[in-house]
Amino acid sequence: MEFTPQPLKKGILNSAVIISAIGYFVDIYDLIIFNVVKKKSLASLGFTGEAFKEQEVFLFNLQMTGMLIGGILWGILGDKKGRASVLFGSILMYSLANIANAFVPNIELYGVCRFIAGIGLAGELGAGITLVLESMDKETRGYGTMIIVTLGALGAVVASLVGQFDWKIAYIFGGVMGLMILLLRVTSLESGMFKSMKGKSVQQGNLLIIFKSKDRFIRYFSCILIGLPVWFVIGILIALSERFTKQIGITDGTVSIAKCVMYAYLGLSFGDLLSGIFSQYFRNRKKVIYGYLVANLVLVVIYLFVRDITMFQFYGMCFLLGAATGYWALFVTIAAEQFGTNLRSTVANTVPNFVRGAVVLITSAFVYLERELIDPVLAALIVGTVCLALAAWGTSRVHETFGKDLDYMEESGSEMSKSTKSLDTDLF
């Protein structure tokens, strides 16, 4: 007997929001757990010292490559096959990959597991946010995406705690959590907007449509730029914090990278909560982004030039930096709201994963400048300033989308559809 998905409720805490939030919680856990357990897991495979440094970069790059590929794959599938199918498939893939990761006997299979996990991890957030945006009232849907990312960021905190135990248990724990989500009837969810596309002669999930219009391309590229400061902070100031503590001078101990990550993600969760509330209160998403970018700039300068502080104060700085980058939910929401139903999943999946992939360019630029200038503080200041400037420019180029009607299509030609033009006219 064919199963017919039931319509979703319009309330803030509907099934789509709850399942997507729990799914993103596990998604972030699995994204972060490698960095937490990499030292212990690689040591058990015989990699220490310089060999460890080489393999940790190799595995991280495999995971990020998987996410770049997965972002495109899941995005297109989400527009062609449905948001629910992507939510189910991505969760199943990264869950099984992480369970398998606990039993790898060599570095080659470890790399395969990280690559497959990366592909799976790329699909959950975009599918969840797209589903929620299309299933809630246009005036309150910002609360839905806020809940998803606020809860999801706490997955990094749990990863930091569970990662203190045996590394195999940490991977199994994440995989089992993912499989348990599938018991929540993920396949019963589907967007009414997506279902309404059936039978219509419109191209679905065709990424090339974006490049056929200058306006669409600028909006798409601008969305990617908006997210750069998030991964500058996480990828450099937090993940490489040991390079800055020597300059800062911690007066009462040695800083733990795992705790830096934990406090930063606690801040990020808090920041996402506030950004969602602010955007609903002011009925404006772009103004809130601008406010976060200013706060980010101030805190980056303080972080880089403060001297002789306690370990508690340094962890406090990590929390504040995380809070200042807590506009991830708002950033993905803006990206998804920029485009029609036939492209929305493609955009919502590719944009955040291209930003994640950009961390390779950001860290490479930092390493190059650090080597040339022999000063990590100045190198970070230059890279951070560029990221923030690009994000501010990107924010200026996207449309304000609070309360925008999302039930429209993007035409495959070089011009926007009439419905899109009329929608955009109201935004200026």
pLDDT digits (tens, 9 = 90+) for 282-314: 999 999 999 999 999 999 999 999 998 999 999
Note whether residue 198 is domain-resident: no
Note whether residue 4 is domain-resident: no
Q: Say whether both 184 and 295 belong to one domain.
A: no
pTM for the whole thing? 0.82
Q: Report the number of distinct structural domains present in the chain.
A: 2
Q: Say whether both 126 and 21 belong to one domain.
A: yes
Q: Which two tokens stand for residue 17?
A: 């929001």
Per-residue three-class SS string for 188-250: HCCCHHHHCCCCCCCCCCCCHHHHCCHHHHHHHHHHHHHCHHHHHHHHHHHCCCHHHHHHHCE
Domain, as residue range, for 60: 9-191
Q: Say whether both 22 and 72 belong to one domain.
A: yes
The span from the CA of 280 to the CA of 278, in Å, is 5
Note whether residue 111 is domain-resident: yes
pLDDT digits (tens, 9 = 90+) for 19-57: 888 888 988 898 888 888 888 899 999 988 878 877 877
pLDDT digits (tens, 9 = 90+) for 26-36: 888 988 888 88
DSSP classification of residue 108: H
**What is the DSSP annotation of 106-164?**
SHHHHHHHHHHHHHHHHHHHHHHHHHHHHHS-TTTHHHHHHHHHHHHHHHHHHHHHHTT
pLDDT digits (tens, 9 = 90+) for 321-376: 999 999 988 898 899 899 888 888 888 888 988 898 888 788 888 888 988 888 88
Assign 406 to helix, strand or coil.
coil
Which of these, 182, 177, 130, lies nearest to 26 by C-alpha position? 177
The pLDDT value given to residue 320: 96
The pLDDT value given to residue 185: 62
Q: Say whether both 159 and 28 belong to one domain.
A: yes
DSSP classification of residue 283: T
Q: Mean pLDDT, the chain, as a whole number?
A: 84
Least confident stretch, 137-146, 174-183, 269-278: 137-146
Note whether residue 369 is domain-resident: yes
The pLDDT value given to residue 288: 95
Last residue of a domain, one of 139, 165, 191: 191
Note whether residue 215 is domain-resident: yes
Last residue of a domain, one of 191, 216, 250: 191
Q: Say whether both 214 and 353 belong to one domain.
A: yes
Q: Say whether both 229 and 128 belong to one domain.
A: no
Q: Say whether both 114 and 234 belong to one domain.
A: no
Q: Say whether both 232 and 371 belong to one domain.
A: yes
Note whether residue 158 is domain-resident: yes
The span from the CA of 186 to the CA of 124, in Å, is 12
Note whether residue 402 is domain-resident: yes
Note whether residue 379 is domain-resident: yes
Q: Is the pLDDT of residue 391 over 80?
A: yes
Domain of 374, CATH number, reads: 1.20.1250.20
Q: Say whether both 36 and 119 belong to one domain.
A: yes
- Looking at the DSSP assignment, which residues form a beta bridge with residue 250? 309
CA-based diameter of the chain, in Å? 69
Q: Say whether both 145 and 231 belong to one domain.
A: no
What's the whole-number mean pLDDT along residues 261-268? 90
Q: Say whether both 247 and 285 belong to one domain.
A: yes
Last residue of a domain, one of 191, 222, 253: 191
Q: Say whether both 396 and 264 belong to one domain.
A: yes
